Structure 1
Amino acid sequence: MRTHDHAAPAEPSGGCATPVTKRLLIDGQLRTTAHTFESIDPATGVVMGHAPNASVEDAEAAVHAARRAFDTTDWATDVDLRVRCLDQLHTALVEHKEELRELTIAEVGATRMLTNANQLEQPIEIIRYYADLLRDYPLSQELGAIEVRGQSHRRWVEKEAVGVVSAIVAYNYPHQLALAKLGPALAAGCTVVLKGAPDTPLVTLALGELIAEHTDIPPGVVNVLSSTEVAVGEVLSTHPEVDAVTFTGSTVVGRKIMAAASATLKRVFLELGGKSALIVLDDADLATAATFAAFSICSHAGQGCAITTRLLVPRAQHDAIVEQVAAMLGHVSYGDPNDPKTYMGPLISAKQRDKVDGIVQRAVTAGARLVTGGKRVDPGFFYAPTLLADVDPDSELAQEEVFGPVLAVIPFDDDDDAVRIANNSAYGLSGGVMSADNERAIALARRIRSGTFSINGGNYFAPDVPFGGYKQSGIGREMGTAGLEEFLEQKSFAAVVA
């Protein structure tokens, strides 16, 4: 991994050369709006495109279209049609992959390196996974016959689509988040209104254009919106014609959506924040642990809900591990996300960078030791890889989601103490453990209250693996068979057998 001059990142050299504009997709029609809003390239701070600013009326039209498509077409009952359309969508995504790559680098600030993985290419395969799963997934189950008052009663269960789904995604991994909702919802037979994040609207709108122009998905089955209006999100969360809401974003907003949806008792799935701990046990290889911790916290500039942002280390080895992690952070290349050699890109906005810096500065004031980083880097919205040591496990830094390349090192006394500290969080999304003893590591992992967990660097993230959290990290699961079943209702039948 090359070392970048950390004084200032290189001027971005690629991405989208001309301003990008996209359109809404409502009831099968690609539409513009009277008003637009800017999309900013976070690596430069320069406007790179404009998105249509959907109104409340646009949102209501999208919901009505989804309701009509669900109630009056055979989308929900025609499995062969759904498989064919998912196949077409996968093909379209693959064929337009390079166009999507450049747009993702420019708007999301994702590095070219990351678009080869979980910023683009891996998410595309979610659609392939659900198309294949649907071909063989059993939508009915026989429960057998029973005798009741001298008669034989056949009993069975059928699974059918929940209905109209509002899908609201965050800015950090927009392809992953959109496709992890859209894929299983469509496979289940639902119709969808998908809303992109205001910071990264164009990549989500591009998905809508591919659906409109390259698939046989019927009008109204998928509707795609972008908007800066809070009222638009409120429509999607409260509209009586919406049957389910799936949201990825902050826990604060997730609570509001859950409360708003409660008036009509909508099914709600929430993929929210995290404050995951990486536990380094006393028998672990320190160099391996330090490398893993350093490069994990800098993945997509720390803008990932499942990233391990707390590093728990044996008290006796605290200083040695801190020294090695700091050295590894010095090897993290950051700057122009278009450069194939760049590992870390910018934060999404000036506002987010200010938030990250504020938490870091308050942590230092509260007594944490700043080892390296802790500074803004211009141009664009870069923040230097940051390491803080001797962090109080009850402090703001250890408890609140930072969403930046900031790692907090917390000492522990023994395995029980490490488990206590790791579980001392409102969140429960992910975590990790490093140990030379695999069985010891697995035993400790089972004691952590989180929905996903990595043992010695194990990678659980794939289309067939359920993803989601405990506690205030969310409700429900995305991906895998579990992700499909979130969008299915179960109907029980019984019939007297003559």
Structure 2
Amino acid sequence: MKHLLIDGRLVETERTYPSLNPATGEEFDRAPDATTDDAERAVAAARRAFDTTDWATDRQLRIRCLEQLHTALVEHGDELRELTITEVGATRQLTHANQLDVPIEIFRYYADLLRDYPMTEELAEVEIRGQTHRRWIEKEAAGVVAAIIPYNYPNQIGFAKLAPALAAGCTVVLKASPDTPLTTLALGELIAEHTDIPPGVVNVLSSSGVEVGALLAAHADVDVVTFTGSTATGRKVMEAASKNLKRVFLELGGKSAMILLDDADFDLAAMFAAFMICSHAGQGCAITTRLLVPREHHDEIVEKVAANLGRVTYGDPSDPNTYMGPLISEKQRDKVDAMVKRAVEAGAKLVTGGERVDPGYFYTPTLLAGVDPASEIAQEEIFGPVLAVIPFDDDDDAVRIANDTIYGLSGGVQSADPERAIALARRIRSGTFSINGGNYFAPDAPFGGYKQSGIGREMGVAGFEEFLERKTLAMVVG
């Protein structure tokens, strides 16, 4: 069993709860169940570390610690890989990409950024009443950060919050998802055992209920809340944080559209769309879950996508040949299945899939055709391997349908004409966008959404600056 990390110490708890292997549905270990008292101690430790140590001002210490943590993650990567496969249900091949190996480089990126990032900025001198005034801006750490992460990509999302916060000089209380606690607690153990990060700078908690997260979001000693999860929960986090006007970063839901223009390579696009929706069993906020196709080619494209979905291998995520693993829980599978059934009742055609597979929490790759763009399945995030095909009449109609949602996280377009594709991409209200399969995901690329997909950006320079305050200073110099 893993331990909480509070004030530099690895802590056991009286209460524990089971962590399940979603590929089998069986318990494989138990996780510490933090109480609100544990959370209070973690916040107090982070507050003390920020207010009374030189963590926020010692740039070289922060660089060294980020490099140490990067090295520890690389050296213990195989252990973390096996844990991620078992607890998250991520496939082995996905851990060599966005579930583990690519996110590890986030720590190196921010260590390198911190070396040269200007923490001061000179403004022009001004003359006021015969005196010369020098003016400048200094950038300072924002303070104590509460970072609350979901189950789907716990390594990537946890690293994307922790690394820039530490680089900026903040102290952090990182709360794991109740569904994937051990993967995040393993990060805390590496910090405690393999880095010089001072006590209290990083605290890592896991809990089975909502009380700890609610406490962190509303706590008066927390200066910044960074939350990734559903839009519904994000609204509650924002409401809790508003009581003391703390800074809030939210990375929330998505209902992203992949648009196939009439000059696209339909064979290539159908393969891309099919395998995208099955990546991590569709449990990704930026996955394109709506496929917008020219009306006159609807049936042709549906047939091609269905054929590709039939090629998706699913099952044991530890098998290197498995492309798609399970959903995280029976509760999530119930949600997905219920939404598919309601979509069919509302008039969508179930082309393939829509079946549970046991043991574990597997759900077959699912294709719904002729979907009404105003229907639930086209408007609400599903977080499962379910693709909704929606016909459109022309480019303007495609843009209208793609933008007609409360979300604005991601999307994509396929076209033989790059200029046409770029012009359409610029009309979509989303924070990220893929043109002809372009991959925007990397440590240096800001990630986040428009509208109710969130507030702020993660990764890149923008992600670093989320954790900085700006102070303007002026002094008479002549």
State TM-score, norm by structure 2: 1.00
Q: Deviations over 1:254-291 (max 9, x none)?
A: 00000000010000000000000000000001001100
Aligned partner of residue 491 in structure 1, secondary structure: strand
Q: Deviations over 1:41-90 (max 9, x none)?
A: 00000101111000000000000000000000000000000000000000
Amino acid across the alignment from 1:422: A
Corresponding residue number in structure 2 for 1:379:
359
Q: Distance in 1 between matches of 2:125 and 2:219?
A: 41
Q: Distance in 2 between matches of 1:55 and 1:197?
A: 15
Corresponding residue number in structure 2 for 1:329:
309
Q: Distance in 1 between matches of 2:209 and 2:193?
A: 27
Unaligned residue ranges in structure 2 (runs of 5+): none
- Written as runs of structure 1 = structure 2, the 5 A alignment for 1:145-184 is 145-184=125-164
Residue 459 (structure 1) aligned with residue 428 (structure 2)? no
| Count, aligned residues | 478
Give the deviation of 1:144 after TM superposition.
2.4
Give the deviation of 1:229 after TM superposition.
2.4
Aligned partner of residue 263 in structure 1, secondary structure: coil
Q: Distance in 2 between matches of 1:475 and 1:147?
A: 39
Q: Deviations over 1:195-249 (max 9, x none)?
A: 0000000000000000000000000000000001211111100110000000000
Q: Distance in 1 between matches of 2:92 and 2:47?
A: 39
Corresponding residue number in structure 2 for 1:388:
368
Residue 30 (structure 1) aligned with residue 15 (structure 2)? no
- Written as runs of structure 1 = structure 2, the 5 A alignment for 1:117-132 is 117-132=97-112
- Written as runs of structure 1 = structure 2, the 5 A alignment for 1:56-205 is 56-205=36-185
Give the deviation of 1:445 after TM superposition.
0.4
Corresponding residue number in structure 2 for 1:450:
430
Q: Distance in 2 between matches of 1:415 and 1:345?
A: 35
> What CA RMSD, in Å, does the superposition of the two structures yield over aligned residues?
0.4
Amino acid across the alignment from 2:450: Y
Q: Distance in 1 between matches of 2:128 and 2:251?
A: 45
Corresponding residue number in structure 1 for 2:205:
225
Corresponding residue number in structure 2 for 1:16:
none
Residue 247 (structure 1) aligned with residue 227 (structure 2)? yes
Q: Deviations over 1:85-116 (max 9, x none)?
A: 00000000000000000000000000000000
Give the deviation of 1:470 after TM superposition.
0.3
Residue 311 (structure 1) aligned with residue 287 (structure 2)? no
Residue 359 (structure 1) aligned with residue 359 (structure 2)? no
CA contact (8 A) 1:76 1:188 kept: yes
Amino acid across the alignment from 2:56: A
Aligned partner of residue 242 in structure 2, secondary structure: helix
CA contact (8 A) 2:178 2:209 kept: no
Residue 343 (structure 1) aligned with residue 323 (structure 2)? yes
Q: Distance in 1 between matches of 2:29 and 2:415?
A: 47
Aligned partner of residue 427 in structure 2, secondary structure: coil
Aligned partner of residue 144 in structure 1, secondary structure: coil
Amino acid across the alignment from 1:387: L
Aligned partner of residue 257 in structure 2, secondary structure: strand
Amino acid across the alignment from 1:313: V
Amino acid across the alignment from 1:481: V
Q: Distance in 2 between matches of 1:286 and 1:237?
A: 46
Amino acid across the alignment from 1:185: A
Amino acid across the alignment from 2:161: K
Amino acid across the alignment from 2:13: T
Which of these residues, 20, 32, 56, is aligned with residue 40 of structure 1?
Answer: 20
Q: Distance in 2 between matches of 1:84 and 1:342?
A: 38
Amino acid across the alignment from 2:88: V
Identity %: 76
Q: Distance in 1 between matches of 2:41 and 2:268?
A: 53
Q: Distance in 2 between matches of 1:106 and 1:330?
A: 25
Which of these residues, 419, 437, 446, is aligned with residue 399 of structure 2?
Answer: 419
Amino acid across the alignment from 2:105: E
Aligned partner of residue 255 in structure 1, secondary structure: helix
Amino acid across the alignment from 1:231: E
Q: Distance in 1 between matches of 2:456 and 2:124?
A: 30
CA contact (8 A) 2:81 2:100 kept: yes
Q: Distance in 2 between matches of 1:44 and 1:458?
A: 35
Aligned partner of residue 172 in structure 2, secondary structure: strand
Aligned partner of residue 123 in structure 2, secondary structure: strand
Q: Distance in 2 between matches of 1:230 and 1:401?
A: 21
Q: Deviations over 1:384-438 (max 9, x none)?
A: 0000000000000000000000000000000000000000100000000000000
Corresponding residue number in structure 2 for 1:403:
383
Amino acid across the alignment from 2:177: A
Residue 429 (structure 1) aligned with residue 372 (structure 2)? no
Amino acid across the alignment from 1:320: E
Amino acid across the alignment from 1:205: L
Aligned partner of residue 67 in structure 2, secondary structure: helix
Runs of 4+ off more than 6 Å: none
Q: Distance in 2 between matches of 1:152 and 1:254?
A: 47
Corresponding residue number in structure 2 for 1:492:
472
Corresponding residue number in structure 2 for 1:299:
279
Q: Distance in 2 between matches of 1:425 and 1:234?
A: 28
CA contact (8 A) 1:55 1:229 kept: no
Amino acid across the alignment from 2:96: N
Unaligned residue ranges in structure 1 (runs of 5+): 1-20
State TM-score, norm by structure 1: 0.96
